[in-house]
């Protein structure tokens, strides 16, 4: 994916190309669903999230907190690296199902 905006500066800036692993995710301590491979995210990971209220719009954010919910679910609190960015400080906690990818590395730096 290609970064747009400044919310993840200085880590990533507009025009950077990022490589991520698109999959279904869970957090540490959340049970695996039988027959379904799910990858894990942890605090500090940079992820791509899609909010339920904005389908089709993807945000790159850092996981700041992760917790299990009653009923075996999980939720995450994400933040921008740039304090001026929009994130869970405005949105609140996101369900783990909001995580669409975990960023592995920057493929190409913006010029």
Task: Give yes or no for a contact between 58 and 47, defined as CB atoms under 8 angstroms apart.
Answer: no
How far apart (Å, rounded) are the C-alpha atoms in residues 27 and 36? Answer: 15
Domain boundaries, the chain: 17-108
Does residue 100 surpass a pLDDT of 90?
Answer: yes
pLDDT at 99: 96
At the top level of CATH, which class does the domain 17-108 belong to? mainly beta
Residue 106's DSSP bridge partners are 18
17-52 pLDDT tens trace: 999 999 989 998 888 777 667 899 999 999 999 999
Local confidence band at 111 (pLDDT 50, 70, 90 cut-offs): confident
- Residue 72: CB atoms within 10 A of its CB come to 10
């Amino acid at each position: 994916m290609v970064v747009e905006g400044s919310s993840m500066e200085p880590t990533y800036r507009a025009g950077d190309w990022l490589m991520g692993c698109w999959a279904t995710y869970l957090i540490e301590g959340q049970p695996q669903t039988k027959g379904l491979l799910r990858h894990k995210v942890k605090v500090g990971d940079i992820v791509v999230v899609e909010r339920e209220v904005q389908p089709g719009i993807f945000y790159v954010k850092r996981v700041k907190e992760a917790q299990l919910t009653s009923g075996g679910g999980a939720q995450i609190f994400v933040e921008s690296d740039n304090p001026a960015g929009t994130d869970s400080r405005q949105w609140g906690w996101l369900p783990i199902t909001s995580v669409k990818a975990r960023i592995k590395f920057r493929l190409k730096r913006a010029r």
